[in-house]
Amino acid sequence: MNPQKRFKIFEALSRNTPHPTTELNYQTPFQLLIAVILSAQTTDKSVNKATFLLFNKASNAKKLSQLKLSDIESCIKTIGLYKTKAKNILETAKIIHTKFNGEVPHDRLLLESLPGVGRKTANVILNTIFNEPTIAVDTHIFRIANRINLAPGDNVLRVEKKLMQVTPKEFLKDAHHLLILHGRYTCTAKLPKCNCCVINDLCEYKKKLLIKTK
């Protein structure tokens, strides 16, 4: 895919969604951190239901760090891997409270040192809270990058690095959310909605389909 086509793709996505952002509910950076940790292998809708209960009990790092593990589990038991996630967010809350004065650190290495926080979660926080031009490659972005030939790669890190290289600078800050939302609602895993896709005329997925049918 050439640079001109990539620019047009992001331009169309940006025009269709002029203010892209996360669909996780949060009021503070700490709450978003907890929500993103919980979102692994779970829908944002499920996380929002769980965090509604959790944040009503404990809205900041200090309060959450003082909860019993069983109290946290009862709030988030409807989401996948809730027992492991409960331990991670309890330990993370304790570290944020005692080591960082209740503030989420603006540093990749420090973020990735927290329980339950990997590169993808750190990228989300750096991008959404600190406005850094990072791209967290989730299942939607990985699918789109390969499906439409935007930034093909055989693993998430390669796709991330390729996207960081080829995404036009003016769209880097919003690329993460633009691609996720497009993958979530239009370029879905099964039966992508090509007929109503805003990049339909630019997409190389159709080319692949034509080659396969010949």
193 CB-contact burial (10 Å; exposed 0-12 / middle 13-18 / buried 19+): exposed
**Residue 138 appears among annotated catalytic residues:** yes
What contacts 124, CB < 8 A, 6 or more positions away? 22, 32, 36, 136, 176
Annotated catalytic residue within 138, 161, 173, 174:
138
Q: Are 38 and 49 in contact (CB under 8 A)?
A: no
Environment class of 211 (CB within 10 Å of its CB; exposed 0-12, middle 13-18, buried 19+): exposed
Whole-number Å distance between alpha carbons of 50 and 23: 14
CA distance 126 to 117: 12
| From 5, 68, 120, 161, active-site residue | 120
Dist CA 203 CA 113 (whole Å): 38
120 is catalytic: yes
Q: Read off the tokens for 74.
A: 């009862």
Tell me how far apart the alpha carbons of residues 107 and 182 are, in angstroms, rounded to a whole number.
Answer: 28
C-alpha separations of 142 from 32, 34, 87, 145, 203 in Å? 22, 23, 28, 5, 15
DSSP 170: G
Residue numbers annotated as active site: 120, 138
